[in-house]
Structure 1
Amino acid sequence: MAMTLRLNDAQDRALTLLARAQGCSKQEAAIRAIIAAAGRALEDAEVAELARGYVAEYASVEKRIRQQR
């Protein structure tokens, strides 16, 4: 699927620098950045989900610790 990416001058300069640093085209640099960001977001979501489970499990322990301070 084709997509047009509209960037302002600063964003275009940043993408150009990223592409040069990675030794690839701006299109490839944009694709890599999207994939990397998606990977981080999914990992963050998984960690957050695990944390929510543990927060409920250890809420009473946290409450006791706070009371002892």
Structure 2
Amino acid sequence: MTLRLDENETAALRKRAEIEGRSMQDVARDAVRSYIETTSKRDLIDSVLDTELPRYAEALDRLGR
């Protein structure tokens, strides 16, 4: 896989890597892992809410009054 970044993205990645004393590759890989973990959790939560909220809609409505 080849990751193509524009100049500003490359500069920001380079600076972040220098600050952390890590390689640009390590920082980029951590960013990808973090993104996947975050979006996977969000997708799971959305799925559960789509399934469970309708089941409890009436009760939640009464509690909100």
TM-score (norm 1): 0.74
Q: RMSD over aligned Cα, in angstroms?
A: 1.8
- State the distance in 2 between where 1:27 and 1:50 align: 35
Structure 1 residue ranges, 4+ long, deviating more than 3 angstroms after superposition: 61-66
2:43 aligned partner: 45
Structure 1 unaligned residues grouped into runs of 5+: none
- State the distance in 1 between where 2:42 and 2:8 align: 28
Q: What is the deviation of 1:29?
A: 0.7
Count of residue pairs brought into register by the alignment: 65
Q: Deviations over 1:14-49 (max 9, x none)?
A: 211221233210011111100111000111111111
In structure 2, give the amino acid aligned to 1:28. D
Q: What is the deviation of 1:64?
A: 5.2
Q: What is the deviation of 1:56?
A: 1.0
Q: What is the deviation of 1:60?
A: 2.5
Map 1:1-69 onto structure 2 (within 5 A).
3-62=1-60
- State the distance in 2 between where 1:8 and 1:34 align: 17
Structure 2 unaligned residues grouped into runs of 5+: none
Q: Percent sequence identity over matched residues?
A: 25
